[in-house]
């Protein structure tokens, strides 16, 4: 089957021919317009909303979201090296329907041998508001995300089913060992030269101290206890129900891994919670998560272990700011603001939580 891999190639004829009957419910798409909704948010993919005019049928969606490969060469090279597109499609095939999380409905997915892929999913915007990483999460939003992540992590905690997912790597997989340390080292001098007036000096000192031991930290975070982790829990990938129900939906599973669940908390709190809220509440949020997984049946993981692993995860995630300041194309002004928020928050958070104590 051939399928479009750039937004302009999506046509009404292709959609009518390839969408399942239970999507259009007997209707026919007669017109189509697109809105680019991924600028400044999508790092590894082109994301557009398809606005559909449908005649006939009943209950066909008025819109859907299309996700395709990114076009920035540096970003695309990393996505291909890490197998991110195949991983997300496999997550929809094998994982999300078995998980206690809310995700958009999948309408279509396929990939080819050249790295092209197409994922068509439900447009959640009529029922949910997407988070804004630049603005950052409120404490109530962060607490809600922690609860969702705790249920997800507890469900997959040391599950033998993880062994069935041969496509799901750990952080110490050869492709990560080959790709991530060079990204860290490429970004470090840029951080030192261009960010000294925006992040604490202690954070830059910590980044320098970590550099010769980065591979060691990567190996440490891959030692377990193991569950299934989202790994990209920044606010731009999290949706909050408009009806006040507290429902939260997750998108973007390209970076999913087998690893420590606490890593998802470190990532979300570290880069998507404003500094003052993160500084004053990170430990209570971590304890909230730990109490929730224990209540769900996890019995062999102490809070002290979670605290140690949280600090280690924050240090490993220094690789994120290094990639953003040193390698990736941020796209536009909104993307640049996201890079700023991500980098300043995470590096400042590392100082606030004394992450250097685990080196």
Give the pLDDT confidence of 104-142 residue by residue, as tens digits. 999 999 998 877 899 999 999 999 999 999 999 999 999
| 63-69 and 117-122 beta bridge pairing | antiparallel
Residue 340 scores a pLDDT above 50:
yes
Could you tell me which residues are beta bridge partners of residue 46?
68
pLDDT score of 331: 58
Q: What are phi and psi of 324, to 5 degrees?
A: -70, -40
Which of 324, 329, 321 has its CA nearest to residue 347? 321
Residues 190-206: what's their mean pLDDT?
95
Indicate where the chain has its CATH 3.30.200.20 domain(s).
7-126
Cα separation, 316 vs 222, whole angstroms: 11
80 and 142 Cβ atoms separated by less than 8 Å: no
Where b means 16+ CB within 10 Å and e means fewer, 87-115 reads bbbbbbeebbeeeebebbebbbbebeeee
Instruction: Give me the helix-helix angle, 201-210 and 174-194, nearest 10°.
Output: 150
Indicate where the chain has its CATH 3.90.1200 domain(s).
128-358
Question: For residue 231, is it left (φ>0), alpha (ψ between -120 and 50) or beta?
Answer: left
Q: What is the pTM of this model?
A: 0.93
Q: What is the pLDDT of residues 294-320, one digit of tens each?
A: 999 999 999 999 999 999 999 999 999
Q: What are phi and psi of 140, to 5 degrees?
A: -65, -40
- Strand ranges for the chain from DSSP E: 28-36, 45-55, 63-69, 106-111, 117-122, 128-130, 227-229, 238-241, 248-250, 257-259
Q: How many other CB atoms are there within 10 angstroms of residue 145's CB atom?
A: 26
Look at domain 128-358 and name its CATH class: alpha beta
CATH number 3.30.470.20 given to 7-126: no
């Amino acid at each position: 089957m051939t399928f479009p891999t750039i937004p302009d190639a999506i046509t009404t004829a292709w959609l009518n021919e390839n969408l399942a009957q239970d999507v259009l419910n007997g209707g026919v798409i007669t017109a189509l317009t697109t809105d680019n909704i991924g600028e400044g948010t999508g790092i590894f993919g082109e994301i557009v909303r398809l606005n559909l005019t449908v005649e006939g049928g009943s209950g066909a969606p008025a819109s859907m979201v299309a996700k395709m490969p990114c076009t920035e060469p540096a970003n695309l090279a990393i996505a291909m090296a890490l197998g991110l597109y195949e991983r997300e499609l496999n997550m929809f095939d094998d994982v999300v329907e078995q998980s206690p999380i809310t995700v958009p409905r999948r309408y279509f997915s396929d990939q080819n041998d050249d790295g092209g892929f197409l994922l068509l999913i439900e447009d959640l915007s009529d029922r949910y508001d997407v988070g804004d990483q630049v603005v950052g999460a409120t404490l109530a939003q962060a607490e809600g995300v922690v609860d969702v992540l705790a249920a997800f992590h507890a469900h997959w905690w040391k599950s033998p089913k993880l062994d069935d997912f041969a496509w799901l790597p750990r952080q110490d997989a050869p492709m990560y060992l080959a790709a991530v340390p060079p990204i860290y080292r490429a970004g470090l001098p840029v951080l030192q030269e261009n960010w000294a007036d925006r992040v604490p000096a202690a954070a830059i000192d910590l980044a320098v101290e970590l550099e010769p031991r980065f591979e060691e930290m990567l190996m440490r975070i891959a030692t377990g206890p193991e569950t299934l982790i989202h790994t990209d829990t920044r606010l731009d990938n999290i949706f909050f129900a408009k009806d006040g129900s507290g429902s939260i939906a997750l998108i973007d599973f390209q970076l999913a891994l087998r690893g420590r669940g606490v890593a998802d908390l470190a990532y979300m709190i570290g880069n998507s919670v404003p500094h003052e809220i993160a500084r004053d509440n990170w430990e209570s949020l971590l304890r909230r998560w730990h109490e929730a997984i224990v209540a769900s049946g996890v019995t062999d993981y102490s809070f002290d272990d979670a605290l140690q692993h949280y600090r280690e995860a924050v240090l490993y995630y220094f690789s994120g700011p290094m990639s953003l300041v040193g390698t990736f194309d941020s796209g536009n002004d909104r993307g640049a603001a996201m890079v700023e928020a991500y980098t300043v928050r995470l590096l400042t958070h590392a100082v606030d939580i004394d992450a250097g104590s685990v080196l």
